[in-house]
Amino acid sequence: MSLGLSDHKKDDRQERLLAIRKALGPRSVVLIGLMGAGKTAVGRRLANRLDLPFIDADSEIEEAAGASISEIFAEHGEAYFRQGERKVIARLLENGPQVLATGGGAYMNPDTRANIKAHGLSVWLKADIKVLMKRVGRRDNRPLLAAGDPEKVMKKLMEERYPIYAEADLTVDSRDIAHTSIVNTIIRALARWSGWERLNNERH
């Protein structure tokens, strides 16, 4: 069952947003994908359009730790960061409805994946290497990329993670276009999604 809306009429737009919100109930729209896929920038705009709060898991982890992600990695190591990430995301998922952007490694944790499935609807922002490298090149706040040749690291992460990211409820291409266009694509995909009934029957 999709939400039964046509996606070409202008008048449908508001109706479509309301239908998505209603179908979502207390769940979160959870954005997953690699560093540079645009989870935060797209998530913020998506939340705005759906009139939902936007939460960035990485910022929440930094706030809980009183330190930046780079500092957490440097002082305590990646395993410690992952533990905190799992706990913080489990807590955040209790607060839906909302749009929740997660760090690139979060969905790789089986507990976090199960939690997202139970409390949310996952959207993979899938991008190719060119787009990812262009976007991450703008900042140097990602310890994993600082550990070696960033493009090699990114390619390895794509190999490891893309088969798991593919478990997401929806996949949307994150191309090098305006973020609002990606938001429109997500909204159309949500309106057409055939899994709403299953979501309501099987999940919280």
In this structure, the number of other CB atoms found within 10 A of the CB of residue 56 comes to 20
Distance from C-alpha of 155 to C-alpha of 48, rounded to nearest angstrom: 32
- Among 20, 23, 50, 58, indicate the residue that binds ligand S3P (CB under 6 A): 58
143/195 with CB nearer ligand S3P: 143
* Cβ 26 vs Cβ 96: under 8 Å: yes
How would you classify the pairing of strands 54-56 and 170-173? unpaired
Tell the residue number behind the tokens 């990646």, with chain if given: 78
Q: Say whether residue 142 binds ligand S3P (CB under 6 A).
A: yes
Terminus-to-terminus CA distance in the chain, angstroms?
Answer: 18
1/74 with CB nearer ligand S3P: 74
Distance from C-alpha of 77 to C-alpha of 185, rounded to nearest angstrom: 37
Q: Which token pair is 204?
A: 């919280």
- Among 43, 97, 105, 120, indicate the residue that binds ligand S3P (CB under 6 A): 105
**Burial readout 71-90 (b: 16 or more C-beta within 10 A, e: otherwise):** ebbeeeeeeebbebbbebbe
126/142 with CB nearer ligand S3P: 142
The least distance separating ligand S3P from the CB of residue 182, rounded to whole angstroms, comes to 16
**Near ligand S3P in 62-81, by CB under 6 A:** 69
Site size toward ligand S3P, by CB under 6 A: 10
x-marked contacts with ligand S3P along 7-46 as a string, rule CB under 6 A:
----------------------------x---x-------
The least distance separating ligand S3P from the CB of residue 91, rounded to whole angstroms, comes to 16
Distance from C-alpha of 46 to C-alpha of 33, rounded to nearest angstrom: 16
**Binding segment (CB under 6 A) for ligand S3P, from list 10-18, 138-146, 167-175, 178-186:** 138-146
**Binding segment (CB under 6 A) for ligand S3P, from list 15-23, 87-95, 142-150, 169-177:** 142-150
Angle between helices 69-76 and 78-92 (to 10 degrees): 130
Q: Which residues bind ligand S3P (CB under 6 A)?
A: 35, 39, 58, 69, 103-105, 142-144
